[in-house]
Structure 1
Amino acid sequence: MQIYLVLKQAENYAVKLADIEDDRTAPVLKKMFTERLYETIVLNDDLQVCQLSTTEERANTIYNYDYDTYPEELDIIKNFNINNAIDQYDKFSFVEDDLKNLYGYIIYLGRMQNGVVLFKKHYPISLIQRDSFLLGALKSKERFEMVSGDDIIRLNGVFQIICIDGELYVCDLQMLERNMGFTKLIQAAAEDTINSIGALGLLEDIEVLRDSADNLSFARKLSKVKKSSPIFRLGISKEAIIEFTKKTPELSGRFKYSETGTEIRLDTKKSKEAFIKLMNDAFLRSELTKQYYEASAKDHIEALIEQPV
C-alpha cells in the first residue's frame, strides 16, 4: 500500500508521496481501507453499478464515469499509475510543502502489476495544526493530558472514487459535484440537452428552460436527458409528444400550451419539473392494471434479463 497526497495551491495541483511509517502505521492504514473496500463494494451483493451520465442518484449505487472529458482533478486519479508514480512523484517535504494545501489522498492497494486506486477527499476540519491545543483523554490513567506533536491528520476508511484499469467509479455524487470540477460538465450537458429540445420545437420559449439551468439541481436533471431519453433515441416526433401530454391522464393540467396548441408553455416550477420527467419518458402505463405511474428511475428490461451462461 502507498498513499499519495494531492496538494492544491491556487489552481495548480501537485502529487507527493506520503512517507508512512512501515512497522505500525502502514499495516493499520492498509487494513482500514481494505476492510472498507470489501464491506462497501466487494461483499455488497445489492450494490448497483450505473452510468453516471444517465442515472439519477440512487441508494446503494456506484457510478461509472462515462463522460468523454475529465476535469483536471479527475484526470489525476484516472491517469495514476503506480509504476510511474514511484519515479514521477517526490516525497512530501515538511520544509517545502504545506499541509494547508492538502486537497485529497490517492491510496494504492495491491501489487505493482495489479491494484486498485482509491481517492479520498480531504477537508480542513480533518487537519489539526500545531498551533492547536490537543487534550487527550487517557482512560488508563483516568485523566486528561496534553497531546504533543506537530500537525495531525485525522483519517478514516471512507473514500469517494475508485479507479480500476483507468475506469473511474464514483461512490459520492455530492463530493464529485462540489469539489471535482464536475459542475462545468453538468452545465455543458444541460446546454446540449436544451439545444436538442430546441431543435424539436416543443417549447413556446426555449429560453425559459435555459434560464432554469442556472440552478445546479435542475441542470443536473436536465443534463441526463439527451443521453438517456428514449424520445431522442427513437426519434419521437414533436406531434406525438404534444398529443401524449394532452391525452395522458397523469399529465392532465400539468402543462399549458401556446395559442396554436402546438407548443408547451413552461411558466411554473412544477411544469418545468414535469417536462423533464416527460422527456425522460417517466410516465408509464401498467399493462396489467391499466393505471398510470410516474417512474423516477427505471432500467431497460433487456438489460435486466440474465444472459445464458
Structure 2
Amino acid sequence: MEIQQLKTKLQTIVSLDVIGINVFFIMKNNRSFLLKKADIRNDATEGLKKVLLTHINEIIAEIDSNDELRVINLSAADDRTTVIYEYDLDEQPEFFSYFENIQNNRQPGYYSTSNRNMFRFETDSLMDVDGYILRFGDEDNSMMVYRKNYPVNVFKRDKIYLIKGDETQFTTMKDDFLRIDSKIDFFKIDDSVFIKNVDILEKFCEFKQIIIAEATCSIAAVSSLGLVENIEVLNERVGEMPFARKLTKVSRTSPVFTLPKANIINFAKNHRLLKKAFKYSENGSIILDTKSSQNLFIRLLNDDFLHSELTNNDYVTPAKDKLD
C-alpha cells in the first residue's frame, strides 16, 4: 500500500460521524494465549476513543509533514527510521490470528461469559494481560490496533497508591487497575498489517523463528549462485537478528540475484572498498573469513554500493527507492 492510500484510509476512519470501539485482551494462559473481550463502560470508552483519535491523527500529520515517510515491505527493511512497515512475509506470528478472530466473529452474543471469552475479574487477572487490541470505527470502515502490555501498567491494590480524595485529603486505591495508553505498535486495515514499532515485533519468539527460517532460505539461494567458498559461516550467524533480517531481504528483493556470477565477482574485485575486504579461493569464489567481510558481502547482495554520476563519489546506502 502506498503512503497516500494509507493516509486516505486513516482519514476516512477518523472522520466517521459515529465511531465505535471494542477492547480485547490477549491473556497469558500457561504457555499459550487466549483472546478475551473486555466489557468497558461508555464513559471509559469515550476517553479511549479520544486518545486513540489523537494517535491516529498524529500518523496522518506525520504523513503530511514528512515527504520522506514511506510504507515499505517488512522483508525489504533497511536502516531508515521514516517508514511504516507492511507485513509481507509468508508465515505470520500466531498472534496475528487474533485480528482475524475479531474480524470474523462480530455477531451479537459471540463474546459472552457462557462462551468463556469475556474478561471476568472473578477468574481472570490483569497481571495476565500480555497485550490488547482495540477495534476502532464502524462496520464498513475500521482498523485494529495492537499494543504490547507490560506489568508496570498494572497497579495492584496490595500496594499503597495515594490518589485524590476530598478537598485536601488523599485516599488509597481500592481495586486493581490497568493503564491503557492507546499508543500504536501494530495496526491492521483491510488485509494489511502495518508495523509502527518493529522492536516489539522482534521480541516475539515466533517472529524470530520466522526470520531465521527466511534467512536460511536466503542462504540456500546464495549458495546456488556459487559465489561463496565457505557458505557455512552465514548459517552460523542466522541467530543474530539484525544479520538475519538483512539475509531475509537478500533473496526477496535483491536485483543482484539476476546477475551472472562473473559480473558480481568482477564488481567486487574492482570496487575500492570490497577489493580489500574479500579473499578468493583458487576457483574464484569469495572467502568470508571475518564478520566484517560477511557483513560487506550481505551489503553487496543488497546492492548497497552506489555511485553518484553527478559527484563521482561512491556511497554505501541500504536506504534507496528505485525510480520508475
Q: Normalization by structure 2: what TM-score?
A: 0.85
Q: Relative to 1, partners in 2 of residues 1:272 and 1:294: Cα closer, same or farther, differing over 3 Å?
A: same
Pairwise CA distance, 1:181: 2.1
Q: Is residue 78–residue 163 contact of structure 1 (8 Å, CA) maintained in 2?
A: no
Pairwise CA distance, 1:179: 2.7
- Give yes or no for the alignment of 1:219 onto 2:244: yes
Q: 1:11 aligns with which of 17, 23, 31?
A: 31
Equivalent residues in 2 for 1:148-187, closer than 5 Å:
148-179=173-204, 181-187=206-212
- Give yes or no for the alignment of 1:191 onto 2:213: no
Pairwise CA distance, 1:139: 11
Task: Tell me which residue corresponds to 1:32.
Answer: 51
2: CA distance, partners of 1:139 / 1:292 = 69
- Give yes or no for the alignment of 1:108 onto 2:114: no
Equivalent AA in structure 2 for residue 236 of structure 1: L
Moved more, 67-76 or 271-280: 67-76
Q: Relative to 1, partners in 2 of residues 1:205 and 1:61: Cα closer, same or farther, differing over 3 Å?
A: same
- SS at 2:276 equivalent: coil
2: CA distance, partners of 1:41 / 1:6 = 28
Q: 1:283 aligns with which of 294, 305, 324?
A: 305
Equivalent AA in structure 1 for residue 85 of structure 2: Y
Pairwise CA distance, 1:32: 0.4
Equivalent residues in 2 for 1:79-90, closer than 5 Å:
79-81=101-103, 84=106, 86-90=108-112
Q: 2:292 aligns with which of 254, 257, 270?
A: 270
- Give yes or no for the alignment of 1:241 onto 2:260: no
Task: Tell me which residue corresponds to 2:93.
Answer: 71
| 1:243-262, Cα deviation, whole Å (9 max, x unpaired) | 1100112323111112x161
Equivalent AA in structure 1 for residue 80 of structure 2: R
Q: Is residue 277–residue 283 contact of structure 1 (8 Å, CA) maintained in 2?
A: yes
Q: Relative to 1, partners in 2 of residues 1:93 and 1:139: Cα closer, same or farther, differing over 3 Å?
A: closer
Q: 2:254 aligns with which of 225, 229, 236?
A: 229
Pairwise CA distance, 1:80: 2.7
1: CA distance, partners of 2:86 / 2:100 = 12
Moved more, 131-140 or 159-168: 131-140
- SS at 2:251 equivalent: helix
- Give yes or no for the alignment of 1:125 onto 2:159: no
1: CA distance, partners of 2:277 / 2:107 = 56
Pairwise CA distance, 1:42: 5.9
Equivalent AA in structure 1 for residue 34 of structure 2: A
Q: Relative to 1, partners in 2 of residues 1:138 and 1:296: Cα closer, same or farther, differing over 3 Å?
A: farther
Pairwise CA distance, 1:149: 2.0
Equivalent AA in structure 2 for residue 285 of structure 1: H
2: CA distance, partners of 1:139 / 1:296 = 59
| 1:197-227, Cα deviation, whole Å (9 max, x unpaired) | 1111111111011101121221121111110
Q: Is residue 73–residue 181 contact of structure 1 (8 Å, CA) maintained in 2?
A: no
Pairwise CA distance, 1:184: 1.0
Pairwise CA distance, 1:157: 2.5
2: CA distance, partners of 1:13 / 1:128 = 22
Task: Tell me which residue corresponds to 1:56.
Answer: 78
Q: State the percentage of identical aligned residues.
A: 34
Q: Is residue 83–residue 112 contact of structure 1 (8 Å, CA) maintained in 2?
A: no
Equivalent AA in structure 2 for residue 73 of structure 1: F
- SS at 2:227 equivalent: coil
Unaligned segments of structure 1, at least 5 residues: 303-309
- SS at 1:284 equivalent: strand
Equivalent AA in structure 1 for residue 293 of structure 2: S
Unaligned segments of structure 2, at least 5 residues: 1-20, 113-117
Q: Is residue 78–residue 168 contact of structure 1 (8 Å, CA) maintained in 2?
A: no
Q: Is residue 212–residue 244 contact of structure 2 (8 Å, CA) maintained in 1?
A: yes
Pairwise CA distance, 1:155: 2.0
- SS at 1:185 equivalent: helix
Equivalent AA in structure 2 for residue 291 of structure 1: N
Number of corresponding residues: 296
Task: Tell me which residue corresponds to 1:306.
Answer: none
Regions of 4+ moved over 4 Å: 137-140
Q: Is residue 15–residue 89 contact of structure 1 (8 Å, CA) maintained in 2?
A: no
Q: Relative to 1, partners in 2 of residues 1:131 and 1:116: Cα closer, same or farther, differing over 3 Å?
A: same
Q: Is residue 126–residue 177 contact of structure 2 (8 Å, CA) maintained in 1?
A: no
Q: Relative to 1, partners in 2 of residues 1:289 and 1:139: Cα closer, same or farther, differing over 3 Å?
A: farther
- SS at 2:242 equivalent: helix
Equivalent AA in structure 2 for residue 153 of structure 1: L
Q: Normalization by structure 1: what TM-score?
A: 0.89
